[in-house]
A and B are shown apart, each in its own frame.
Chain A
C-alpha cells in the first residue's frame, strides 16, 4: 500500500531529523553519542560521553527539538482541519486570526494576572474569540466566500495586533512589559520538560479529537447543505472541531509564540502527496509538520552565531510556497 509506505517513510525521516537536530548546534555532540546517551535509558551502554554532552542533549536540546515537533504536529493538523472545514486551501491558523487571537489572550492574561497558567487559559480564550469573530464576519453564502473568509481573518488579526500594541503600551515597563515582550517573541529556546509536557497534553487531546473525527471533516468539507442531505448535522461537529483546533493553536502560541506558515503550507503539500481524504491527510500533515518545524528550528539556532526567531525561517520558506499555491489555486478556479 502506497500510503502506508509513505507514512513509515515520513516517520523514519522524523526520527532521523530529531536525532540530527539534537546532534547539531554550536556545541557539537556527535550523532553516535546522541544515540548512545538516549539508548542508555533503555539498555546498558558504556559511557563514552562527558557530563556536558549529557546535559546538552537531555536538558537543553531534546526538549526543544521535541517541542518543535509537537508544535509542528499541532499547527499542521489544525491547518488541515481548518482548510477542510472552511473549504478553502488558503486558510491556516494564522490567516484565520486564531494565532493573533491567542497572542492577544496571552498578553491580556500576563497584564492582569502575571505569568503563569493563566497564559494558557488566556491564549485559548483569545483564539476561540478570534475564530468566533471571523465566523461572524464571514458568510458562507456571500458572493466570494473564499475571499471574505481570508479578509475576515486579516481584519481580526489586525484588530488583535492593535490591542496587543495597546497592551504593551500601557504595560508597566518595570514589571510587566519585559514579561510580555519575552512571551510574545517566544521561541523553542525556553523549552523545558515541563513546558513540553503541557503542550504535548493539549496537542495530544486535540489531535485525538481531530483524528477521531477525520471522516466527519470529509463530510463537512462538502458544505453544510450537502452534509445535511448525507444525514450529518454540521453545527455541533464544527464546534467540537474548532474547539480542538483552538486548544492546539493556543498551546503552541503559549509555549513558543505565534509561528506562521506551517499550518498553511504543510497541509497543501500533504494534499499533493496523499489526496484530500482526511483519513490520510491528517496523519501525513502531522508528520510533515513535525519534520518541517524540527528542521526550521534547527536552522534557526544553528545557522548563525546568534539565534534567529524560528518564525522568520518558516516565513522565508512559507511565503514563496504560499505564493505558488495562490497561483495554482487561481488557475484551477479559472478553468
Chain B
C-alpha cells in the first residue's frame, strides 16, 4: 500500500538527513518512528504524504494518506465539525461545497473519536487533546486507508496520551488502517507499534519489529543517554517502560 524504496533527502547543507531508507506498511499495522530532534522525522512524514519530493529513491503510495499534523497552530476560527468537514475536500470539485452526506460523514467521524458533544465549538478554543482528536477525525473523514500522524501525543497529558494511543490502536484494528506515527516516547512505540524505525544521527537508521529494535543499546546510541527498559507488572499484564538514566537526583538530604 505504501512503500519507500531506498529514499534519501537533504536540505541546503548537502548533508544527508536520511539515506538508503526502505520500508513498507501493510494494513492494520502500526509503525512508530523515533529519533532525536533534527534527524528528519517530520521530513520523512512529508515525503510519505507527497508534499515533499525526496532527492533520492522513490515513494509509492497507492492510497490516499490521511495526515494528522501536530495540533499547534489554530489561527482560523472554524468550528470542530467544519474542521472535520475539511477532510472531505478531496471529493469536492473546485466550485463545490460539501453537502448533506459530507456533513453526516463529518459528524460520524467526530463521534468515532468521541467528540460529538463539542461539534459546534470553536476549534481554536478547544484543549490540545481535543484539537488533536479533531484533526484525527478530519483524516478519517477523508476516507483514508493510511494514517500518518506527527507526534500525536507530544503535547498531551498522561491521560490524553492514553486516549489517543488507544484510539489509534482501535482504528488500525477495526478499520484495517495502516498507521505511521512519530513520537519522542519509546514507551508509545512499545505499547502499540508492531514495527519501529529509529532515526539516528549521521543519516543512519534501524528498522524492524518494535520489540527487537527498541533495545537499551539502540536507544542509548540514538539519544546519547543511557536508558533501561523496565517491565512493570500490573494485574495480569506486563507493561514495558523505557527509563532514561540522566544521572539526576532530587536535591535535599535524601540524596545523600
Query: Do A and B belong to a common assembly?
Result: yes
Q: Which positions in A face B, CB cutoff 8 Å?
A: 87, 212-216, 218-219, 221-222, 225-226, 228-232, 237, 240, 271, 275-277, 279
Contact with A along B62-92 (1 / 0, CB 8 A): 0011010100000111110010001101101
Pick from A225, A229, A230 the residue with the most CB of B within 10 Å. Answer: A229
Pick from B49, B64, B67, B76 the residue with the most CB of A within 10 Å. Answer: B76
Q: Which residues of A contact B77 (CB under 8 A)?
A: 271, 275-276
- Measured CB to CB, the closest approach of chain A to B71, in angstroms, equals 12
- Measured CB to CB, the closest approach of chain B to A315, in angstroms, equals 27
Give the number of residue pairs across the A-B interface with Cβ within 8 Å: 61
Per the bound structure, the CA–CA distance linking A213 and B142 in Å amounts to: 19
> Among B46, B86, B90, B122, which residue has its beta carbon within 8 angstroms of that of A218?
B86
Interface contact B79-A277, CB-CB below 8 Å: yes
Interface contact B90-A231, CB-CB below 8 Å: yes
Question: Told that A228-B51, A231-B90, A232-B89 touch, could you supply 17 new A-B pairs with CB distance under 8 A?
Answer: A215-B89, A215-B92, A215-B96, A216-B89, A216-B94, A219-B89, A222-B86, A228-B50, A229-B49, A229-B67, A230-B86, A231-B64, A231-B142, A275-B77, A275-B78, A276-B78, A277-B79
Q: Looking across the interface, which residue of chain A has its beta carbon closest to that of B87?
A: A230
Q: Which residues of B contact A225 (CB under 8 A)?
A: 46, 51
Per the bound structure, the CA–CA distance linking A206 and B142 in Å amounts to: 30
Interface contact B78-A230, CB-CB below 8 Å: no
Q: Looking across the interface, which residue of chain B has its beta carbon closest to that of A225?
A: B51
Q: Which residues of B contact A276 (CB under 8 A)?
A: 76-78, 82
Q: Looking across the interface, which residue of chain A has its beta carbon closest to that of B141?
A: A230
Interface contact A215-B97, CB-CB below 8 Å: yes
> Could you pull out 6 A-B pairs where Cβ atoms are within 8 angstroms?
A212-B94, A219-B89, A229-B67, A230-B87, A231-B89, A277-B82
Q: Which residues of A contact B208 (CB under 8 A)?
A: none
B95 at the A interface (CB under 8 A): yes
Q: Looking across the interface, which residue of chain A has its beta carbon closest to that of B52?
A: A225
- Measured CB to CB, the closest approach of chain B to A281, in angstroms, equals 10
